[in-house]
């Protein structure tokens, strides 16, 4: 069941002029800056530095670290394993230009009090900008719901979309992690990739496709790389296993209604500029304040079981542990 982002809206001060009363602060080049939500769309927050840094201690209960994204060619910070999963899902989803960790702090008014909230990620994609919070569903309290609702209002005001990653589908990360293990596989000394792409025409089972090459162990690694890079498609609504149906990306997209589809074709290295693979820090033009979209429903949004642009608005994406 999706977590309702709107559940915390009741206590927010959203009366006329709220976009001028609420403020946002960020950090760039070591300097702090701030503005009202009304003026946020004119500010360079999409290229900001993290609002805070993480540290390690022996007794801490979460595990911070760095996650490398092939989409940006850089490491990005994560304060927990849950956040690392979100970064991996963003990397797989495609169309990611840049991801800013702890991008900004929102100061909002609720019941006569002023509170602050720092979302976890700002993801810039070629399909728009996403503001993302990460919080395991059992740990979400009423104050968190209020903070999430405030972040959603700011996102809508800026023409961005908002998501809370709270619970992964049980099988989703086993398949995603398997493909990620081969995402940086560069070489194909046995020339198996053209064979696999040709054999997949019309759809073949993963195990059959690997066995058809005569070099099954190596073919499995190459298959995972082709799936990660979206040259082949597979339905991740179920577990990734030998009987999973694999087909060329265009055919997979066509089976789901054409267009970009849930399996958009992505060339290896697509979306990167320069020899070091870094993505340019471009700033898609968000709409004017008040021109944002409605809060999306969970079924509006892509999830690892339905790969497309970014993980879903709260929810049915994240699993237990």
Same domain for 164 and 129: yes
Q: Tell me if 268 is assigned to some domain.
A: no
Q: Tell me if 155 is assigned to some domain.
A: yes
Contact call for residues 123 and 132 (beta carbons, < 8 A): yes
- In this predicted structure, which of 54-58, 125-129, 290-294 has the lowest mean pLDDT? 290-294
96-122 pLDDT, tens digit each: 899 999 999 999 999 878 999 999 999
Residue predicted with more confidence, 319 or 221: 221
- The residue count for the chain: 321
Q: Tell me if 307 is assigned to some domain.
A: no
Same domain for 292 and 203: no
CATH of the domain at 205: 1.10.10
Same domain for 154 and 92: yes
The pLDDT assigned to 262 comes to: 33
The contacts of residue 14 (CB under 8 Å, 6+ apart) are 153
Same domain for 124 and 89: yes
What is the rounded CA–CA span in Å between residue 120 and residue 54?
12
Contact call for residues 306 and 300 (beta carbons, < 8 A): no
Longest dimension (CA), the chain: 70
CATH of the domain at 139: 3.40.1350
Q: Tell me if 131 is assigned to some domain.
A: yes
Closest among 73, 140, 63 to 276, alpha carbons compared: 73
Same domain for 216 and 82: no
pLDDT band at 299 (very low <50, low <70, confident <90, very high): very low
What is the rounded CA–CA span in Å between residue 66 and residue 89?
14
| Domain, as residue range, for 251 | 184-228+230-255
What is the rounded CA–CA span in Å between residue 87 and residue 93?
10
| Number of other CB atoms surrounding residue 72 within 10 Å | 23
The whole-angstrom distance between residue 230's C-alpha and the CA centroid of its chain comes to 16
Same domain for 114 and 203: no
Strand ranges for 37-86 from DSSP E: 65-69, 74-78
DSSP state of 49: B
What is the rounded CA–CA span in Å between residue 175 and residue 303?
13
The pLDDT assigned to 171 comes to: 84
Same domain for 57 and 13: yes
Same domain for 154 and 104: yes
Count of structural domains, the chain: 2
Same domain for 144 and 18: yes
52-105 pLDDT, tens digit each: 776 666 766 677 888 899 889 889 989 888 999 999 999 988 688 999 999 999
Same domain for 49 and 72: yes
Q: Tell me if 309 is assigned to some domain.
A: no
Residue predicted with more confidence, 178 or 293: 178
Q: Tell me if 321 is assigned to some domain.
A: no
Same domain for 55 and 142: yes
The pLDDT assigned to 281 comes to: 34
Q: Tell me if 60 is assigned to some domain.
A: yes
Q: Tell me if 317 is assigned to some domain.
A: no
Closest among 178, 181, 183, 233 to 203, alpha carbons compared: 233
Same domain for 224 and 289: no
């Amino acid at each position: 069941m999706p977590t309702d982002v709107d559940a915390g809206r009741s206590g927010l001060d959203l009366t006329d002029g709220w976009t001028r009363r609420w403020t946002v602060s960020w950090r760039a080049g070591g300097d702090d800056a701030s503005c009202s939500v009304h003026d946020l769309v004119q500010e360079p927050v999409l290229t900001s530095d993290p609002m805070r840094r993480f540290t390690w201690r022996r007794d801490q209960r979460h595990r911070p670290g760095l996650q490398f994204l092939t989409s940006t060619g850089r490491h990005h910070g994560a304060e927990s394993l849950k956040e690392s999963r979100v970064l991996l899902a963003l990397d797989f989803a495609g169309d990611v230009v840049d991801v800013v960790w702890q991008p900004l702090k929102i100061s909002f008014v609720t019941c006569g009090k002023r509170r602050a909230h720092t979302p976890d990620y700002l993801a810039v994609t070629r399909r728009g900008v996403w503001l993302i919070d990460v919080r395991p569903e059992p740990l979400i309290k009423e104050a968190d719901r209020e903070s999430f609702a405030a972040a959603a209002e700011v996102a809508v005001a800026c023409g961005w979309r908002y998501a809370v990653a709270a619970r992964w589908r049980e099988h989703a990360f086993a398949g995603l992690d398997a493909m990620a293990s081969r995402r940086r596989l560069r070489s194909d000394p046995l020339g198996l990739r053209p064979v696999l792409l040709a054999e997949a025409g019309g759809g073949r089972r993963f195990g059959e496709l690997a066995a058809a090459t005569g070099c099954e162990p190596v073919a499995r690694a190459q298959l995972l790389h082709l799936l990660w890079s979206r040259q082949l498609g597979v339905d991740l609504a179920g577990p990734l296993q030998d009987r999973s149906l694999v087909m060329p990306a265009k055919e997979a997209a066509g089976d789901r209604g054409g267009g970009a589809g849930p399996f958009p074709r992505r060339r290896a290295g697509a979306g990167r500029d320069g020899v070091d693979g870094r993505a340019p820090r471009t700033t898609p033009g968000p709409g004017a304040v008040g021109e944002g979209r409605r809060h999306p429903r969970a079924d509006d949004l892509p999830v690892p079981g339905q790969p497309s642009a970014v993980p879903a608005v709260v929810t049915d994406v994240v699993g237990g542990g």
